[in-house]
Amino acid sequence: MPTQLPNERQLREPGSMELDPSGEGIAIEETRRLIASSKVEGTPVFNQSGEQLGSVYNFMVDKISGQVAYVVMSFGGFLGIGESYHPLPWRALTYDPRLGGYVVDIDRDRLVDAPQYSAGEDPFTDNEYGARIDAYYKTTPTA
């Protein structure tokens, strides 16, 4: 039932990237090919066997190219305590609509030895950190 508030207006069709007709420039969160960062954060990450390894905590975007370089996956812990963060090259992940999450070709044992960091650390301030991630996963850096 409409509330008939003074500023109430009809929103666009779900899945549309039509801009907000009010001129505020707010787009819908998802289309067939695009998704808002807020919908990616929290998405589960699975290995090839379908075992959930963690979930997307955030992602790192290259300032020059505008491409996503790394997805930071939260791993382990309970209620945020003891959680570690594992940057994964974006190119190493594939979205699987059946699982409703991303799949990466790595098992839990190999992930334990992968580049990681804890809450409060900021390893990306080290210019060589990305190179170590790419070397570990044998991927080429985002240009």
| Residue spans per domain, the chain | 43-139
> What residues contact 31, with CB distance under 8 A and at least 6 apart?
15, 16, 17
Q: Which fold has domain 43-139?
A: SH3 type barrels. (2.30.30)
Q: What is the pLDDT along the chain (143 residues), one digit of tens a residue?
A: 444 444 444 455 555 555 555 555 555 677 777 778 888 899 999 999 999 999 999 999 988 888 899 999 988 766 656 678 999 999 999 999 899 999 999 888 888 888 998 888 888 888 888 889 889 888 776 55
For residues 128 and 23, give the distance between their C-alpha atoms in angstroms, rounded to a whole number. 42
pTM of the model: 0.71
Pairing of strands 101-104, 93-96: antiparallel
Cα pseudo-dihedral 32, 137, 134, 68, rounded to 10: 10
HSE toward the beta carbon, residue 9, CA cutoff 13 A: 8
